[in-house]
Amino acid sequence: MVRPRARVYVDGFNFDYAAFDKGRGKHAAFRWLDLPRFFDVVLPDLDITHIRYFTAKVRPAPWKPNDYAMTGRQERYLGAIASLPRTTVHEAQFATWKVKRPLAGPVGVEPTYVSVWDTKEKGSDVSLASFMLVDGFKGLYDVAVVVSDDSDLLDPVRLVRSELGLKVGVVRVRVHRASVFRAEADFVRSVRRWHFATCQLPEVVDLPDDSVIRRPSGW
């Protein structure tokens, strides 16, 4: 039996938060994840031809300008998965600016306003939606698999199904809440803790230029 061709579209920060802060992964050691192997195991009924991973490089917070620990770990991971077969990393940007926000107080009392730092990732959801639609127009998949729980992606999912006549599945990582796509997708697949535990990259990843990337300490 020929398996349907599938492309996987990963909302990196959404996936990271759901998997390692709230979901089945919930352990720092599982962050060194082998994406092709992981999705092959989670979706064995599909022929996964490509994985697009959308993220943005983190930067030190303005109040910790020299804290590069997280930045270094992320750079290693992105370099490692970018070297894997069937995997492309798409980078957006973080934007940080000062905004004024009201402090919480009694209802009906004029609040005091303070300046706070506001940091947002810009562009990943738009990029994910764009590539999913363009890949569909090109006929590069039979099934698009979205790895996110971002409601901003509902319209692209609907368009792939209604305008292109293609199927869309969703990989759900946060198991204690229903997927926002449950009424829109052709299927919703949940992951298990063992998927993360058994799909880790080797301690040392060999790169095409003969250099290596080592697993960060603590991962």
> Which positions ≥6 away from 167 have C-beta within 8 Å?
4, 142, 143, 144, 161, 186, 187
Q: What is the mean pLDDT of each run of 10 residues along the chain (219 residues)?
A: 95 89 68 97 98 84 56 90 96 70 83 75 84 98 96 95 97 80 93 93 94 88
**All domains in the chain, ordered by first residue:** 5-94+124-214 (3.40.50.1010)
What pLDDT does 60 receive?
Answer: 60
Token reading at 203: 């301690």
* CA–CA gap between residue 218 and residue 29 (Å, rounded): 7
Reported pTM: 0.85
